[in-house]
Amino acid sequence: MSRALEPLEPAPGVPTPAAPRARDGSRPTSGVGPPLAPIFTAMAVMVLVVLALSFARSAGVVAALWGAGGLAVAVWLRTSRGPLYDLSFGALVAMGIAAGELLAGNSTLLTVMFTVANMLEIYVCVLLARRFAPTLNLASVQGACRFLVSAAVLGPLPAALFAGAMLWWMNGADFLDSVQTWWFGHALGVAVLASFGLALTKREIVRFRAPARTIEAIVLLSLLTALCIVVFSQQMPIGFITMPLLLLIAVRLRMLGVTAALVIISILAVGGSMRGLGPYGVAFEGPDRAMMAQLLILFGYLPIMLVAALLEERDRLSDRAKAGQVRAERASEAKSRLLANVAHEIKSPVGGVIGIGELWKTGQLGAITPTQGEMAEMLVKTARQVEALAHDLLDVARAESGAVKVELRPTDVPGVLEDVKRAVALRPESEGVRLEVVSEGDGLIALADSQRLTQVISNLASNAVKYGGSGGVVTFRASKVYDGVRIEVSDRGPGLSPEKQAQLFEPFNRLGLERSAVEGHGIGLALAKRLVELQGGSIGVTSTPGEGATFWVEMPAA
């Protein structure tokens, strides 16, 4: 049998090597369990056997609630460290079961038969849990479902069939009643006690070290106990009233609290039904009382475990998302610092290159030939492009780091558009392009930083001239919209496909035009978007391939 994945506390003085963390954040087992665990488990199993046979027999000699198997399964899965350990653990548990059967008054033959049946059940449950739920992680919906179906539902079935057949052969007991009572009672024990044992991890215990959380757990579980005593001592169908409190326990205490609550409910519900009390005390007789109480817990209350597992899984995913966000923010800050440093390092030497190129071009460094003049002019032009890139990088870094300060004040939008139009008209690439300004209505005053808004509109206008100037017209339009001012920069160029529109505002993305004759670095629109958002506005594009593009900016009205 393979080893389990999470041990109990290691023995004092026994070093344990560091292990990688499991999916739920806890460390998997190193395979080292306390040497006394099998002995204590055998003693606890013996006590549980005596209690079950003394107070919960319903179908002849079969108990309606069996916790011994669930305890043995949980400890075995938590502490197993090899075949020899498994053999010794199984032998001690078998001795505990046999001792309990004898103390409860069973004959030697029944004791042997029940010991074999219980060990068969425990072994099958452990085997199925290791096969289908190897992580033993109840803090996920998949892990909880796998354990409940494999260990709790299917695990006790072979032992139930064996015990039912043996009781029919030995005592003439009703086969179906024996199988049904055994199966439901033992499935309930494994589902409740084994789940509680597996949920009792170091991580959960640490969670309850806070005094406030401990007090909350005590109060909620005490309220549940009191409510269950009332519910299962009255002969009224009011079992449903415990559901809101059980859901609250799932929300506040998660898996450990829910499994502890299910232990309390199981004991009180089955015990009350066996005494003829509770919702099924009058309506049913004999084994049917216990069966209905078992079904109530298995199908009414046990699914709350899945709610707790879902909440645990959500918490884990939320923690991972927060950690990822922190890492992303740190990476973004590092990138912004890198951009700022690169921009600063570029600006100084490029300024020197521009100065030397200007002196060379104007002949102040000596006579030059026409070819040298062209080369000097090309040098200055290229250096200015690098300088512009450095400024853009610095602006992007400042914007992403929040270092850009905007001063919002009433800004005359038509005036900004006229200023941008005049500046763009002086650029060489605007030759042959007609620039128009259209103001629709009066009072087009936006609450914005005039300098930053001008920078944004200039960027949009420059792109319209460079990429859409083939249409011959670029239009600047200002209009009122809702409680703001809308600014549009439209061209009649080739337009943009929906795929390219989705990538427009990504930094350093030139939409496949890197090798074209159109100059650019792909960061202007990303910077414009950030600057608009800093001013409380929004930016976007509307375009149809072949029909031009309209970039719009909406700013709040002053």
| 269-324 residue pLDDT tens | 888 877 777 776 666 666 677 778 888 888 888 999 999 999 988 988 888 899 88
Q: What is the per-residue pLDDT for 511?
A: 61
C-beta of residue 396 within 8 angstroms of C-beta of residue 526: yes
C-beta of residue 481 within 8 angstroms of C-beta of residue 554: yes
Q: What is the pLDDT of residues 342-357, one digit of tens each?
A: 766 777 787 788 888 8
| Dihedrals phi, psi of 557, to nearest 5 degrees | -75, 150
Report the candidate in 316, 297, 280 with the shortest Cα–Cα distance to residue 203.
316
Residue 364 CA to residue 376 CA, distance in Å, equals 12
Strands (E), 19-98: 57-59, 62-63
Inter-axis angle of helices 68-79 and 37-55, nearest 10? 170
| Dihedrals phi, psi of 318, to nearest 5 degrees | -65, -40
Q: What is the per-residue pLDDT for 23?
A: 41
C-beta of residue 493 within 8 angstroms of C-beta of residue 547: no
The single-letter code of the amino acid at 189 is G
Instruction: Sort residue 328 into left (φ over 0), alpha (ψ -120 to 50) or beta.
Output: alpha
Residue 201 CA to residue 9 CA, distance in Å, equals 10
The single-letter code of the amino acid at 381 is K
Q: Is the dihedral of CA 378, 384, 385, 386 positive or negative?
A: positive
C-beta of residue 164 within 8 angstroms of C-beta of residue 33: no
Q: What is the per-residue pLDDT for 186?
A: 92
Cβ neighbours for 43, distance < 8 A, ≥ 6 positions apart: 96
Q: What is the per-residue pLDDT for 207?
A: 82
Q: What is the per-residue pLDDT for 97?
A: 93
Helix or strand or coil: residue 427? coil
The single-letter code of the amino acid at 313 is E
Q: What is the per-residue pLDDT for 336?
A: 67
Task: Tell the residue number behind the tokens 């479902």, with chain if given.
Answer: 145
Q: What is the per-residue pLDDT for 555?
A: 93
Q: Report the predicted TM-score, pTM, of the whole model to 2 decimal places.
A: 0.62
Report the candidate in 315, 302, 221, 208 with the shortest Cα–Cα distance to residue 261.
221
Which residues of the chain are under the pLDDT cut of 70? 1-35, 57-61, 235-237, 239, 280-287, 332, 335-336, 339-340, 343-344, 396-397, 399-403, 507-522
Helix or strand or coil: residue 549? strand
Count Cβ atoms within 10 A of the Cβ of residue 213 and give its class: 0-12 exposed, 13-18 middle, 19 or more buried.
middle
